[in-house]
Amino acid sequence: MKRMRWIGAMGLAAPLWAQIGAAAKDRAAEIAMEAAKSAPAFSWESLLWKVVWLEVIAVILLSFLLVRVVIRATGWDPFASWDRDKNNMRLWMLVGGAFLLLVLWSASHYSDNFLPESASRHGVPIARLTWGIVSFTYPAFFIVHLMLFYMVWRYYNGRVRSATYMETHHGLERGALIAISTPVVIIAVAGIYVWSQPVHGQSPEPGQKEIELEVVAEQFQWRARYAGQDGKLGRYHYKLIGGDNVLGIDFTDVKAQDDIIPQLKEIHLPVGALVTIHVRSKDVLHSLYLPHFRTHIYAVPGQKNKVTLVPTITTREMRKKLGDPNFDYELACNQLCGGAHYNMRMKVVVESWEEYEAWLRQQKPAYQPAQPQPVQAELRMKPNQNS
């Protein structure tokens, strides 16, 4: 009797057992799949290759040993006439030549990855300065290395024993000092002027349109906020950051109430307008990097940074210029900020003022005052319409 009751209880609980069984089976399958993903699949072929490589290494080591044993036993030395210095020099010439050829090859092979022409106004002098520097550091690199390898050839032991001694020559030293420091000073001064433009030096021209937006970094994404109708970004405070207010916007500030957070992970910029981007970070150090606009600024927790730029080439024009219909400008993080750092990118669309305004009009303000939702209102009206 007792046993019957027990079986009956088991029978009643059967659906529950089935549920638990199915869940356990699913979980087991999941674990198996994860294990399969993390552990590389075993293959006889890869094991065979490992054995082959080990044997190759063993044969090389053993042959060295064999030569030594033969030399010891017979007194015969195959390297007696081997000019060690000369052959070392020859090997160095080989290494040097191969190195310089590799540099030439890689520079041409990877030239596809060079940035296209600058798409911002301040980026043009920056690109010019960069290529100006490369135009003499690249030849200097070759000249210096050719000189280095020439010295190895000239002074290998046994040919020229010692270098010539020279008295201090003030004129020569002064000349060398000026020749080296002049380009360095030019680069530094031009750099200060050119690179500071996006941070300090851009003010609107008469009649030029201006927009303001904020880009906020967090592990691992960017979020943008546009100033609304009033053209001004509202206040924020880190203590206000929460599940429904991801940017910590202070909605008691009237200027904040029309601010816009775009739905899609992309920012739109009007061509020809002066764009001010405010940058901040919610957690660690990130960096706002707009390579095509030659623009870069750090996103530092607890610090307000800003950068200005004037986009000059629309996405459409750049696609035509590059002959690439899929080209898009990119906003990236260029600080290694954690595990999913690679995820921190955003599409940047440069378009005409009209297109920009139309896009902005489609975006909803971040601040939604309490009011009946339009969808619910529609549902409530339906019965009335039918009757």
Interface contacts to Cu ion, rule CB under 5 A: 286, 333, 337, 344
- Rounded least distance, CB 289 to Cu ion, Å: 10
Beta bridge partners of 217: 222, 281
Q: Which residue, 116 or 338, has its beta carbon nearer to Cu ion?
A: 338
In 3D space, the residue among 347, 344, 348 whose CA is nearest the CA of residue 334 turns out to be 344
Distance of closest approach, residue 277 Cβ to Cu ion, in angstroms: 16
CB of 369 to Cu ion, least distance (A): 34
> Nearer to Cu ion by C-beta: 225 or 286?
286
User: What is the C-alpha R_g of the chain?
Assistant: 35
Question: Residue 308 CB, nearest distance to Cu ion (Å)?
Answer: 22
Q: What are the angstrom distances between the C-alpha of 103 and each of 110, 116, 300, 373?
A: 11, 22, 37, 63
* Burial class of 181 by CB neighbour count within 10 A (0 to 12, 13 to 18, 19+): exposed
- Tell me the closest approach of the beta carbon of residue 237 to Cu ion, in angstroms: 22
CB 246 within 8 A of CB 222: no
Q: Which is nearer to Cu ion, 275 or 333 (CB)?
A: 333
- Count other C-beta atoms under 10 Å from residue 102's C-beta: 11
Triad 230, 235, 238: Cα angle to 5°: 150
Instruction: Output the smallest distance, CB 279 to Cu ion, in A.
Output: 12
- Report which DSSP code applies to 116: -
Concatenating the DSSP letter of every residue in 151-204 gives HHHHTSTTSS-SPPP----HHHHHHHHHHHHHHHHHHHHHHHHHHHTTTT---P
Nearer to Cu ion, 247 or 333 (CB): 333
To the nearest whole angstrom, how small is the minimum distance from the Cβ of residue 303 to Cu ion? 15
Q: Do the Cβ atoms of 344 and 286 come closer than 8 Å?
A: yes
Contact 292, 372 (CB under 8 A): no
H or E segment at 212? strand 210-218
79 vs 342 by CB, closer to Cu ion: 342
Whichever of 280 and 286 has its CB closer to Cu ion, that residue is 286
Residue 223 Cβ vs Cu ion, minimum distance, rounded to whole Å: 12
Q: Which is nearer to Cu ion, 209 or 347 (CB)?
A: 347
In the bound state with Cu ion, the residue whose beta carbon lies nearer, of 286 and 294, is: 286
Q: Helix or strand or coil: residue 103?
A: helix
Contact (CB, 8 A) for 155 and 85: no
